[in-house]
Amino acid sequence: MTKNEISKTVLKRLPGYLAYLKTISTTNISATALAAALGMGEVQVRKDLAMVSDGGRPKTGYQRESLIDDIEQFLGYDNTTDAVLIGAGKLGQALCGYSGFEAYGLNILAAFDNNAPASHTQEGKPIYPMEELENFCKSNKVLMGIITVPAQHAQEVCNQLIACGIKAIWSFATSHLEVPEGILVQYENMATSLAVLSMHLQAQIKEKK
């Protein structure tokens, strides 16, 4: 199975394994133990791990550190992906300053915003006007764009990014984006999480009554 053939659902489970493996300190871990710790099915975990690593041994399981390396390599965390961010508001600036992304191979080169309060983020990343987006993306060969503008401007920004050669878009705006084939949009929809949480609380409050 090549990387291209792996399903998106498997892909979405890999960062979870990785995060857990990094919090423990044992030398070896079996698929069974990993499944139990994460409350997942053993068969699923076994299959997922077999796709990214051939280090599993009967009885002892996987060497934890090798498994971490295999998953990180598979996810491309060892390659750095350069990105531009559009919308240097609070959320945009927070993302620019979030050091945690480096661990995932994401490097935000610059922010773009026509109404930015300053020419740099608090962490010193440059903020350029939108007119400079195309030149910047093309001369830096940037393929990933992060959208942190309000929903009503998101489609316009998305179109501009695609015109600049961007192939993958990470959108924090709540609106749906229309894109041509070959462009991937990944939504970070915080509203969805909030809906699930609120509903749980409403159900709990109702039970108490």
Q: Is residue 109 classed as helix, strand or coil in its secondary structure?
A: strand
Instruction: Select the residue interacting with a copy of itself from 93, 116, 128, 158 (CB under 8 A).
Output: 93
Nearer to a copy of itself, 75 or 130 (CB): 75
Contact 93, 108 (CB under 8 A): no
Nearer to a copy of itself, 47 or 200 (CB): 200
Question: Which span sits near a copy of itself by CB under 8 A: 52-60, 107-115, 125-133, 169-177?
Answer: 169-177
Q: Is 203 in the site for a copy of itself (CB under 8 A)?
A: yes
Nearer to a copy of itself, 131 or 181 (CB): 181
Q: Is 19 in the site for a copy of itself (CB under 8 A)?
A: yes
Sheet with 168-171, side-by-side order of all strands: 127-128, 106-112, 81-86, 144-147, 168-171, 184-187
Instruction: Select the residue interacting with a copy of itself from 75, 109, 162, 164 (CB under 8 A).
Output: 75
Contact 6, 34 (CB under 8 A): no
Q: Cβ of residue 63: shortest distance to a copy of itself, in angstroms?
A: 20
The total of other beta-carbon atoms located within 10 Å of residue 63's CB is 18
Q: Is 195 in the site for a copy of itself (CB under 8 A)?
A: yes
Q: Is 15 in the site for a copy of itself (CB under 8 A)?
A: yes
Q: Cβ of residue 112: shortest distance to a copy of itself, in angstroms?
A: 18
Q: Is 59 in the site for a copy of itself (CB under 8 A)?
A: no
Q: Cβ of residue 64: shortest distance to a copy of itself, in angstroms?
A: 15
The total of other beta-carbon atoms located within 10 Å of residue 135's CB is 11
Q: Rule CB under 8 A: which of 94-113 touch a copy of itself?
A: 94, 97-98, 100-101, 104-106
Residue with tokens 């995932």: 104
| Residues in CB range of 193: below 8 A, 6 or more apart | none
The amino acid present at 100, given as its one-letter code, is: G
- Closest to 15 measured CA to CA, from 207, 186, 204, 202: 186
Question: Which span sits near a copy of itself by CB under 8 A: 54-62, 129-137, 157-165, 201-209?
Answer: 201-209
E strands in the chain: 28-29, 62-63, 81-86, 106-112, 127-128, 144-147, 168-171, 184-187
Q: Is 55 in the site for a copy of itself (CB under 8 A)?
A: no
Q: Is 18 in the site for a copy of itself (CB under 8 A)?
A: yes
